[in-house]
Amino acid sequence: MLQPKAYVFDAFGTLFDTTSVLARCEETFPGQGPELTALWRSKQLEYSWLRCLMGRYEDFWTLTRDGLTFACHALHLRIDQDRLDHLLEGYFTLEPFPDTAVLTRLGDIPRAILSNGSPTMLNAVVSNSGLTSRFQHVLSVDAVKSYKPSPDAYRIATDCLGLEAKDIVFVSSNGWDVAGAASFGFRACWLNRQNAPLEMLGQKPEAIIRTLGDLVP
């Protein structure tokens, strides 16, 4: 794809593998790790959209905790505070996907992260993964107390970079995020890691790639 003036990346699921917490879930609740991890992730996202619509923003760390609590209740898993904290802290040490190694090969073009994650979560996961030097900006929607796919959330990136949306390639593995980014005006690039079908949200990405390596000119 034509080189942009900047790249903006989603974090969870795009650069960092949220299924990294699967091992902790499975260790804590043998045999139920996959189901717990999936429901947890799904509730975490659902709560971000619902709270944003209700005008009751809480940061993503709170929603991550609330999503896990709900998922444990729904699956009839008893969890105490220590184990809850242990699972949650998995978010601080999510593994970066191996293909993040190619980020250094994108040339001198500015790179930023724009994530729903709270500043604490983001700083921890970026720092622990050793990717700090790959990004000029690590941006959290917490600055505007709104979640993606709200335009207010995406605007953080254009404001920070001082660029128009049309000059920025926005990369996400999350289909709904790609739709939100395209709707906002970014050049949306869907990193379709799971070979998932396109979300039916009336927006098409400019490009669909299978690995971050496909971004390298």
Establish if 204 lies at the interface with a copy of itself (CB under 8 A): no
- Among 129, 150, 192, 211, interactor with a copy of itself by CB under 8 A: 150
- Identify whether the C-beta of residue 10 lies closer than 8 Å to the C-beta of residue 173: yes
Identify the CA nearest to 1 among candidates 111, 115, 106, 114: 106
Half-sphere exposure of 113 (CA within 13 A, CB side): 26
Q: Who's near 127: CB < 8 A, 6+ residues apart?
A: none
179 lies in the binding site for a copy of itself (CB under 8 A):
yes
Does position 34 interact with a copy of itself (CB under 8 A)? The reply is no
Q: Are 174 and 14 in contact (CB under 8 A)?
A: yes
Of residues 110 and 175, the one with the C-beta less far from a copy of itself: 175
What DSSP letter does each residue of 43-100 carry, written as one string?
HHHHHHHHHHHHT----HHHHHHHHHHHHHHHTT----HHHHHHHHGGGGGPEEPGGG
Which of residues 8, 180, 186, 205 is near a copy of itself by CB under 8 A? Answer: 180
- Coil, strand or helix at 155: helix
Binding a copy of itself by CB under 8 A: which of 4, 33, 149, 205?
A: 149
CB closer to a copy of itself, 4 vs 175: 175
Contact with a copy of itself (CB under 8 A) among 2, 30, 31, 55: 55
Please state the closest distance from residue 51 (CB atom) to a copy of itself, in A. Answer: 7
At 178, list the tokens. 């790609």
Q: Which residues are catalytic?
A: 10
* Contact between 126 and a copy of itself per CB under 8 A: no
- Check residue 74 for interaction with a copy of itself (CB under 8 A): yes
Site residues (vs a copy of itself, CB under 8 A): 43, 46-47, 49-56, 58, 66-67, 69-70, 73-74, 147-151, 176, 179-180, 183, 196-203
